[in-house]
């Protein structure tokens, strides 16, 4: 088997800390959180105290100021545990990253220290009822009124929506300008006119709150704008590769984990006088899945390396997201089959993994959009080469 070479001793020591935190603070309570469809705010503060939130945030804003691999460790260990309730990835990898990359000094001082400690929870407000992967089609509008903007509209499928204190919100400041009319704001959820809708009941990822959000003439100061007016779509495009990489990391880890506990189950479960693992079909199936998982892991790790060097482009990220999402769903489906009827029972981790998996082909850009991105690049490269050749 290939040995991973990304992590050093400091990363692995941190991994041990994260695992102990999950075992103590999350595992005993997660079934109740799945029933409640939300985790308590106290968990976020405990995670902050353990140094698990926004690891790459510079020390001047209260963070550890360490490299991206520390965030990767948190994402991997959460995925390995099978616990989907705490929306740490959205908070750390997206919201904090947007603020760190594009925020003013005042915005960083306002939000990053509290996000590091878990006192302020971040959310990303992009998807709308009529605009999913097509972000330039959003309808939430922000109208200038003196030194303020007045925001009206609706968002849906928003992770951390019931708990969030700050939202990186995509709006239209020019409804007729397409992608050039998109502007981002940091919206404080304590402002008048903001309202949380119901906590949506989902197929999987039941412990994570996912909400409708409503903005009824929410007045925000112009200083809450993230980046420049009309540049929001460009900013979102620069961060999509990182978002898709994070999803590939999670999928690669889940695939490995599911294979491991399927091997353990089939090695002990007996049928027709032998273990399920003694059947050639079981061994062949798991051999195929393991090989694909190793290939996926190697590609993902290479993408992480490229990202840390500033060399991960949108096409590689789209390929990672597409291929690992498909593998994720394939592994949980074929492994569940090897559990037989027990695989359909919720108390078995494979059942939860199956329900949690389906969203990965949709979230962060659907599989179909990934194919469009990759396919268009293939043909644009061909035409460019044909012209120069």
C-alpha dihedral (46, 13, 19, 71), degrees to nearest 10: 70
Please choose, from the candidates 388, 379, 368, 370, the residue with its C-alpha nearest in 3D space to the C-alpha of residue 243. 370
Q: How far is C-alpha 147 from the geometric centre of its chain's CA atoms?
A: 34
Residue 249 contacts residue 76 (beta carbons within 8 Å)? yes
Q: If you ran DSSP here, which 8-state letter would residue 128 be given?
A: B
pLDDT of residue 26: 98
The residue extents of the domains of the chain are 9-120, 123-229, 234-384
Superfamily for domain range 123-229: Butyryl-CoA Dehydrogenase, subunit A, domain 2 (2.40.110.10)
The answer to whether 254 touches 188, Cβ cutoff 8 Å, is no
Q: Is 5 helix (H, G, I), strand (E, B) or coil?
A: coil
Q: Give the tens place of pLDDT for each residue, 14-23.
A: 999 999 999 9
Note down pLDDT in tens along the chain; length 389 residues.
678 999 999 999 999 999 999 999 999 999 999 999 999 999 999 999 999 999 999 999 999 999 999 999 999 999 999 999 999 999 999 999 999 999 999 999 999 999 999 999 999 999 999 877 777 789 999 999 999 999 999 999 999 999 999 999 999 999 888 899 999 999 999 999 999 999 999 999 999 999 999 999 999 999 999 999 999 999 999 998 999 999 999 999 999 999 999 999 999 999 999 999 999 999 999 999 999 999 999 999 999 999 999 999 999 999 999 999 999 999 999 999 999 999 999 999 999 999 999 999 999 889 999 999 999 999 999 999 988 86
Residues identified as active-site? 243
At the fourth CATH level, the homologous superfamily of domain 9-120 is: Acyl-CoA dehydrogenase/oxidase, N-terminal domain (1.10.540.10)
**Which tens digit of pLDDT belongs to each residue from 110-125?**
999 999 999 999 999 9
C-alpha 239/C-alpha 259 separation (Å) is: 31
5-61 confidence digits (pLDDT tens): 999 999 999 999 999 999 999 999 999 999 999 999 999 999 999 999 999 999 999
Q: Quote the CA–CA distance of 97 and 184 in Å, as a whole number.
A: 14
CATH 2.40.40.20 fits 234-384, yes or no: no
Q: In this structure, what DSSP letter does residue 131 have?
A: B
Beta bridge partner(s), residue 188? 166
Cβ atoms < 10 Å from Cβ of 298: 13
């Amino acid at each position: 088997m290939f040995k991973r070479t990304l992590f050093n001793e400091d990363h692995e020591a941190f991994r041990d800390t994260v695992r102990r935190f999950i075992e103590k603070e999350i595992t005993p309570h997660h079934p109740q959180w799945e029933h409640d469809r939300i985790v308590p705010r106290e968990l976020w503060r405990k995670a902050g105290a353990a140094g698990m939130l926004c690891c790459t945030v510079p020390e001047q804003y209260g963070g550890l100021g360490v490299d991206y691999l520390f965030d990767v460790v948190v994402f991997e260990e959460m995925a390995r545990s099978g616990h989907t309730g705490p929306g740490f990835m959205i908070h750390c990898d997206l919201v904090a990253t947007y603020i760190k990359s594009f925020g003013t000094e005042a915005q960083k001082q306002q939000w990053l220290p509290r996000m590091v400690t878990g006192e302020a929870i971040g959310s990303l407000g992009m998807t709308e009822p009529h605009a999913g992967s097509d972000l330039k089609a959003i309808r939430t509008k922000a109208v200038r009124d003196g030194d303020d903007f007045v925001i009206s509209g609706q968002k849906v499928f928003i992770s951390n929506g019931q708990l969030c204190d700050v939202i990186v919100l995509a709006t239209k400041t020019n409804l007729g300008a397409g992608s050039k009319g998109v502007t981002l704001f940091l919206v404080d959820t304590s402002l008048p006119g903001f309202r949380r809708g119901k906590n949506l009941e989902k197929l999987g990822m039941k412990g994570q709150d996912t909400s409708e959000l409503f903005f009824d003439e929410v007045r925000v100061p112009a200083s809450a704008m993230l980046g420049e007016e009309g540049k929001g779509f460009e900013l979102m495009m620069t961060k999509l590769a990182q978002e898709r990489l994070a999803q590939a990391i999670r999928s690669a880890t889940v695939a490995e984990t599911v294979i491991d506990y399927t091997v353990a189950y089939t090695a002990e479960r007996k049928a027709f006088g032998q273990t399920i693992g003694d059947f050639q079909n079981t061994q062949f199936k798991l051999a195929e899945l393991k090989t694909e998982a190793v290939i996926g892991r190697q590609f993902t790790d290479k993408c992480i390396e490229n990202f840390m060097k500033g060399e991960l482009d949108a096409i590689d990220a789209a390929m990672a997201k597409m291929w690992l999402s498909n593998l994720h769903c394939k592994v949980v489906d074929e492994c569940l089959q090897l559990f037989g009827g027990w695989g359909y029972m919720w108390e078995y981790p494979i059942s939860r993994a199956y329900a949690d998996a389906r969203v990965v082909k949709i979230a962060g850009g659907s599989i179909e959009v990934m194919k469009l991105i990759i396919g268009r690049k293939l043909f644009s490269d061909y035409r460019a080469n044909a012209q120069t050749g």
